[in-house]
Amino acid sequence: MLEGKVVIVTGGAKGIGRHAAKTFAQEKAKVVIADVNKELLQETSRELGQLTEALAITADVRSEDDVKKMVDQVVSRFGRIDVLVNDAAIVPHFAWGIPRWPRIRDMEKEFWDRVIQTNLGGTFLCTKHVLPQMEARRSGHIINLYGGGGVTPFGACAYVVTKDAIRTFTRYVAEEVRESNVCVVIFSPRVPIATEGAPEEALKRLPGPEILGNGFVLAAELSMDLTGQMFAYENGKLVRQA
């Protein structure tokens, strides 16, 4: 069903984004990965290129110029955009046992702004610039990432604020574009995941991105009656979350 379709995955050079990109590549979709890490971007692009047609774009999702250029480049190359996965984010990864982020009273405004503008701002900008392409064709899927975090111990506030905001953002955008036949949903990993760069102890203790299976592919095939909802991957299928 996804063969030949064009998929953009932000933050696609590593971690969950890399996993998502690979699952789309295995379906023979044309995969675009965008990331700020040029070295990992090229490495992942080479891997994807063994499975399908892949394009790597260096882009900072906080920059509207970067995002607009990314979309223009994809449309120029492929002529369409069918799926957007908004994965790019700054994540605390406290479950890895690494130093916690500061309390709000101790947090520098620059740090707060960087988290908010990457996670929430990047989701906004990429959605904004991809939507005209999808609406013109009256077809498309946008998949936003959700992640939780406990109220205690302290440190996850900035991250969780962005993710709760993305959940609300998804609900509203889903209604705005419902008549354009663009499906906007949230995908939730539900559990902490250890990816590249995690301490060895965390890699042994926590599941890797492969636990998400082909969840992103399934999310990109959801019908319009499910737009605005949140889903998680479980036992080979998507399960709606409250």
CB 122 within 8 A of CB 44: no
Question: For position 75, what pLDDT does the model report?
Answer: 98
User: Which H or E run includes 13?
Assistant: none
In order along its 242 residues, the chain shows pLDDT tens digits of 899 999 999 999 999 999 999 999 999 999 999 999 999 999 999 999 999 999 999 999 999 999 999 999 999 999 999 999 999 999 988 888 888 899 999 999 999 999 999 999 999 999 999 999 999 999 999 999 998 777 777 889 999 999 999 999 999 999 999 999 999 999 999 888 999 888 999 999 999 999 999 999 999 999 999 999 999 999 999 999 98
Rounded (5°) CA angle 225-226-231: 170
111: left (phi over 0), alpha (psi -120 to 50) or beta: alpha
pTM value?
A: 0.96
Q: What number of CA atoms fall less than 13 Å from residue 180's CA on the CB side?
A: 19
Please give the single-letter amino acid code of residue 192: P
- Helical segments of 27-143, H only: 38-49, 64-78, 109-116, 122-137
Task: Name the residue ranges covered by the structural domains of the chain.
Answer: 6-241
Under the phi-then-psi rule, with left for phi > 0, alpha for psi from -120 to 50, and beta for the rest, what region is 110?
A: alpha
Give the pLDDT score at 99: 84
* pLDDT on residue 95: 86
Give me the pLDDT at residue 121, please.
98
CATH of domain 6-241: 3.40.50.720
- 7: tokens are 């998929």
Let me know if 159 is a catalytic residue. yes
Interhelix angle for 38-49 vs 15-26, to 10°? 20
Q: What is the pLDDT of residue 180?
A: 98
Q: How far is residue 212's CA from residue 124's CA, in Å, rounded to a whole number? A: 24
Which residue type does 125 have?
L
| Catalytic residue chosen out of the listed positions 146, 159, 172, 233 | 159
Position 100 scores a pLDDT of: 86
Q: Strands of 230-234's sheet, edge to edge? A: 54-58, 30-35, 6-10, 83-86, 140-145, 182-187, 230-234, 237-241
CA distance 125 to 117: 10
